[in-house]
Chains A and B, each alone.
Chain A
Amino acid sequence: MMTPTTGETGKMTSFEIGGIKSMLTLVRAMCLAIGVLVFSAPFSASANDVEAGWSAYQKGDFSTALSIWSGLAAQGNDRALFNMGVMHDEGRGVAQDRAKAMEFWRQAAKKGNSQAQHNLGLAHIAGLGVEENPDIAVGYLKQAAITGEIRSQYTLGKMYHYGLGVHKDAEMAFKWIKKAAETGLDRAQYNLGKMYRDGDGTPASATEAAQWFLMSAEQGYAKAQNHIGIRLVRGEGINKDPVRGLMFLILAARQGHNAAQDNVKAAAADLGADDAAKAEKRADEFIPRNSGT
């Protein structure tokens, strides 16, 4: 047992008291550090191993990635389980085996992995490696959508739109597609534009339709570029700007959108050579906005 040293008076000097305090602080800090190391070791090691697998995967060394992730998957690591599912689904470093992929994803989904829940939902929509069952698909998509998975929110909205696995419900379709659109998913923004245009699940609004088409178009989504191009040329729901409208039509046409190719010809003929050249130049300089979704 440690006995505190004292000064000549039998009382501890302030220097000694300070020293003991410092020592106690040091001991506490060491205990805390050891505790942190002991308790966090399995988690940080696991994260490092997932990273090591990822590093091999990035080099195209799929057998090493498989070997690292399969060990972690056996310990129940949800990211490793998910990645193992992807590798079996895509046939990376292993023969394609969709049934096995589903099994890995089911285990990851049970642990709350939203990407596994999303992929399982999609597999059940198409019947790839698993029975085609829209009811089960909706169950998985809801789990992922509620946690904020944007792609799942969008897909769930489409399920409500078509009445697949759920009762057809335009308002629920609008609700979920709007969530995905607000986070920046270009397809969702385009679909939301159409819903506002048609009054589908929401009151019709030409202005809202144009705004959502514009947001999607600015991200480079060809169909939205065609829609907003026409609206800018005509001034429908948005201030008329034919040069900018033609720019979007040109961008859509360059991506192979057939209707946009016809619309480019019509809009360019109406505008005249100078403005058409300006639109072409702006299309050359166009940089899509990246929402990171």
Chain B
Amino acid sequence: MRRTFANHHWAITMLIVLGLLVHMGIARADTPTSPDAAAAFIETLGNQTLGLLAADGKTLEQKEAEVRAVLADNFALVKIGRFVLGNAWKKASQPEKDEYIRLFSEYVLATYSRRLGGYAGEQFTIAKAEPMGKRDALVTTEIQRPSGPPLVAGWRVRGNGDGKMQILDIIVEGTSMLVTQRNEFASVVKSKGVGGLIEMLRVQLTRFGASAA
């Protein structure tokens, strides 16, 4: 019964994400992305990332900086940033768009490299890969944990037709990164505009992380 509910929840999330992507013009009918190629892309990227995190002789901060660089090359940051900003993107000036994308990228990469920081030495497997929408593929990965159920994540991948692939979204336990981020920023954009969001991102990036003293 619980599993049925989880699957149902997952399916609803997928539909919402797909609907929003279509609405934003991100999902267009074009060359479909091969699920097998997308799975190979995620497998290579995952191994590379976990390998960096498992390296000896470096601080966690250094390792996460390396992971950030890898993710930066493989995330469709401009597309994601545009989607997250919603209709406000069209009203923003070019310098605002540039600054927003720069800060948003830094924010997203910092968030996800930190999330991955705890998976050094873990093993992940590709559970399945399937088409998503008309153009993308959804790769589902599982990380086995010592206790509790495995961590299941969905990676929405798009190929550009000449072999280059990029991640458009991550869905963890039924929650889409795109939708979460969009909801988080919507109220700021509504009350303070894109300029206010830029300032908020700039300020949030000065947060202190854990330290020994």
Contacts and interface: CB of A to CB of B under 8 A. Distances in A.
B208 A151 contact: yes
B1 interface: no
B4 interface: no
Contacts of B46: none
A265 to B, nearest CB: 17
Given A126-B203, A155-B203, A158-B203, A59 B210 contact: no
B206 A155 contact: yes
A87 interface: yes
Contact of A258 (B94, B121, B203, B210): B94
A37 to B, nearest CB: 22
A224 B35 CA distance: 44
A118 B208 CA distance: 8
Nearest to B101: A256
Given A119-B208, A126-B188, A258-B95, A60 B117 contact: yes
B213 A60 contact: no
Nearest to B201: A126
A128 B114 CA distance: 18
Interface string A42-77: 000001001100100111111001000000000000
Given A50-B212, A83-B210, A57 B204 contact: no
B209 interface: yes
Interface string B183-213: 0100110000000000110111011111111
A154 interface: yes
A91 interface: yes
A30 B118 CA distance: 46
Contacts of B213: 47, 50, 79
A162 B199 contact: yes
A145 interface: no
A268 interface: no
A225 interface: no
B115 interface: yes
Contacts of A51: 212
B211 A54 contact: yes
A33 interface: no
Contacts of A122: 203-204, 206-207
B119 interface: yes
B44 interface: no
B200 A125 contact: yes
B212 A54 contact: yes
Nearest to A52: B212
B210 A57 contact: yes
Interface string A138-163: 00000000000001001100100010
A60 B118 CA distance: 5
Nearest to A144: B208
Interface in B109-136: 111, 114-115, 117-121
B121 A60 contact: yes
Given A59-B120, A60-B60, A92-B114, A115 B212 contact: no
B212 A62 contact: no
B204 A126 contact: yes
A154 B117 contact: no
A259 interface: yes
Contacts of B188: 126
A184 interface: no
The 7 closest A-B pairs by CB, nearest first: A60-B120, A54-B212, A115-B208, A83-B210, A86-B210, A151-B206, A62-B118
20 contacts: A50-B213, A58-B60, A59-B60, A60-B53, A62-B118, A79-B213, A86-B209, A87-B210, A89-B207, A92-B117, A92-B210, A115-B211, A118-B207, A118-B208, A119-B207, A128-B184, A151-B208, A155-B203, A162-B199, A259-B95
Given A83-B210, A122-B204, 15 more contacts: A50-B213, A51-B212, A54-B211, A60-B53, A61-B118, A79-B212, A82-B208, A86-B209, A92-B114, A92-B117, A118-B208, A126-B188, A128-B204, A151-B208, A258-B95
